Amino acid sequence: MRPFTPARLGTATALAALLACAPVASAASDTGPSPAKDKDKVITLTGRLAQQSRFPVHPLGPAAQGDRTVFRSVLFDKNGKEVGETGGSCTTTRVENGGAEECTVTYKLPGGQLTTQGLLFNILVPGPPPSFDVAITGGTGKYDRARGQVHADTIGTGVRRFTIDLD
């Protein structure tokens, strides 16, 4: 199996995946109206990578198109209280020019779930996994018909800050 470094986990140390901190506001314990119906509702959470598995196309070779990463992260609000989790998978779509992955991630939060999807770039560049933005494609419960985007920043090893911006 080829060496596995955090720099190659762009996504997984995600979302996700995988993975964040320094909250601005948290609606995870909000009992107000449905966030999907509120304009510009922002939820900021920290995600810590809890589990990750890689499924390389060429176990002994370099990164290849079709490599997959599956992950799960635990989500925390601004007070450090556990409020949910993420789970998802990413597939490598490009290995040249820094690499790219297509990721699908679900965020389980109090009152429902959010689904996201998008491309992540520069996942094979050495160093901390890059920031990324993905689209909110829907949800359940109080997030039914949710739209917007999620921005993720790496703030530590296996830790990301997720800023969920609901339209």
Phi-psi region of 71 (alpha: psi -120 to 50; beta: other; left: phi over 0): beta
- What is the per-residue pLDDT for 71? 98
Pairwise CA distance, residues 17 & 82, whole Å:
16
For the 6-166 domain, the top CATH level (class) is mainly beta
Mean pLDDT of 3-20: 36
Mean pLDDT of 129-141: 97
Give pLDDT tens digits for 146-167. Answer: 999 999 999 999 999 999 999 9
Say what the pTM is.
0.77
Instruction: Give CA separation, 154 vs 39, 96, 126, 129, 135, in Å.
Output: 27, 22, 14, 6, 18
Pairwise CA distance, residues 8 & 29, whole Å:
34
- What is the per-residue pLDDT for 54? 97
